Structure 1
Amino acid sequence: MKLVILDRDGTINEDSDDYIKSADEWVPLPGALEAIARLNHAGWHVVVASNQSGVGRGLFDMSALNAMHGKMHRLLAAVGGRIEAIFFCPHAPEEQCQCRKPEPGLFVQIGERFGVDLHTVPVVGDTSRDLVAGAAVGCEPHLVLTGKGEAYRGRQLPDSFPAHTVVHEDLSGFVDYLLTRDQPTT
C-alpha cells in the first residue's frame, strides 16, 4: 500500500494561533486539495494525523470538529480527492497523552489500522513536532513552508527537525517531488 500521512492545520488548510474552531474557519490552502487528488489518482492513500487540542481546551466540541472534517471531505470530493481516515488527538498538552504529536501514538494507530510498516512512509507537516512524531516510527519527514513552516523559509532547519527532512514550498510541491520520484526509470 502506498500511504502518505499529512498534518492538517498549516499543511492542508490555513492555520491560526487562535485555533480553527468551526467549519467556517476551515479554509483550504491554495492547491492543497488538488494536490491530495493528484496523490489519489497516482494510487496513494492519504491519511491525516492532527493534534486537535481545541477539543480538550473546550474551544470547540466534537460536532464542530466533525463539521470541519465533513467540509474537508466534501471539498476534496469536488476535486476528485479523498482522505482515507483522520486520526486526531483531542487532548490538551497537560494531559501528557501518547497520541499528541510529537509523541508517536497517532502514527502507531495508523500503522495498526492499515496493517503497514511505516518505515519510509512519507509524513508531511508544517512543524517539527509533526515530523518528529512520524520519524519516531520510521516515517520519511517532509516539511512544507506553509502554516508555521513559513518561519523556516530561507533558513537552515534547527536541530529539532529529524535528520534528512526534505523541504517543499507547499503540499503541491511535495506531491510534485513524490510523483516524480515514484516514476519508474526507463
Structure 2
Amino acid sequence: MAIINNKTYDTLFLDRDGVINVERKNDYAKNISEFLFIDGTLDALSILSSKFSNIIIVTNQRGVGRGIMSESDLESVHNYMLQQIEEHSGKISGIYVCTDLYPISINRKPNIGMAFKALEKFPQIDFTKSIMVGNSRSDIDFGQKLGMYTILVGDKYPKSDAVFNNINAYFPNLYQFSLSL
C-alpha cells in the first residue's frame, strides 16, 4: 500500500507513452526497436510493484485504428514491455488498450471505459483509492472523472499551463514518483 498525505492507495493506473516509454512525437512505438523505456522506469516499476496491489496500464493506441500498426504489432510491443518489466522485478496486473479513432468512444481517454474493463477483472479496485499517472490532459481528466489521485509526469506542458492547476502532484518522471513513496 502506498500512503500519500495519510491516505492509502492500493491500485496504480499508468498511461504508457510518455510515462513508461519515450513518446514518439507524431508517431507510435510500432515495434520493439521503437519502444524505448524512459530512464529509471524499470527500477520505478520494481519499487511500485512492492507498494500497489495492482498496476494497470490504460493506453490510447490510435495507431492501430489508423492502420499504421497492427494489433499483432501492438501485442509484440506489449509482450516485450512485460518481459522487461518482469525481468526487473516489476509486475503489471493488466493492460487495457483503446484503438478507436474517435473521441466519443467510451474507451478512449479521457473517457472511462478502460477503467471499468479493469474493474470487471479486478472487482476489488476502489477508484477513490487509486492513483492515475499520466503525461497528458486526457490522463488527468480520466483519473479525475473516477475520483483518483492524479499525477502528471514529463515535460509536455510548460509550468504555466492550466493542467498544473488540476493535478494532485507533479513529478519529472515515474522514477521520481516511485522514490517519493
Check whether TM > 0.5.
Answer: yes
Give 1:45 shift.
2.1
Give 1:107 shift.
1.5
* Stretch of structure 1 that moved more, 46-55 or 34-43: 34-43
Matches within 5 A, 1:9-20: 9-16=17-24, 17-20=26-29
**Rounded Cα–Cα distance in structure 2 between residues aligned with 1:111 and 1:135:** 16
The 3-state SS of whatever aligns with 1:122 is: strand
Give 1:156 shift.
3.0
Aligned residue identity for 1:151 = K
137 and 42 in structure 1: CA distance in 2 versus 1, 3 angstrom threshold? closer
Equivalent residue number for residue 113 of structure 2: 105
Whether 1:163 aligns to 2:171 is no
42 and 151 in structure 1: CA distance in 2 versus 1, 3 angstrom threshold? closer
**Rounded Cα–Cα distance in structure 2 between residues aligned with 1:85 and 1:23:** 19
| C-alpha RMSD over aligned residues | 1.7
Which runs of at least 4 in structure 1 moved beyond 3 Å after TM superposition?
none
The 3-state SS of whatever aligns with 1:133 is: helix
Aligned residue identity for 1:176 = L
Give 1:162 shift.
6.8
Matches within 5 A, 1:57-68: 57-68=66-77
Equivalent residue number for residue 156 of structure 2: 151
Does the 8 Å CA contact 1:135/1:162 hold for their aligned counterparts? no
Does the 8 Å CA contact 2:132/2:151 hold for their aligned counterparts? yes
Equivalent residue number for residue 142 of structure 2: 133
Could you tell me the TM-score, scaled by structure 2's length? 0.87
The 3-state SS of whatever aligns with 2:151 is: strand
11 and 43 in structure 1: CA distance in 2 versus 1, 3 angstrom threshold? closer
Give 1:80 shift.
0.8
Whether 1:74 aligns to 2:77 is no
Does the 8 Å CA contact 1:128/1:161 hold for their aligned counterparts? no
Equivalent residue number for residue 91 of structure 1: 100
Equivalent residue number for residue 177 of structure 2: 174
Give 1:161 shift.
6.0
Give 1:41 shift.
2.4
Could you tell me the TM-score, scaled by structure 1's length? 0.85
Give 1:157 shift.
3.6
- Write out per-residue CA displacement over residues 73-99 of structure 1, whole angstroms, 9 at most, x where no aligned residue: 1111111111110001011126x2111
Higher strand share: 2
Whether 1:27 aligns to 2:36 is yes
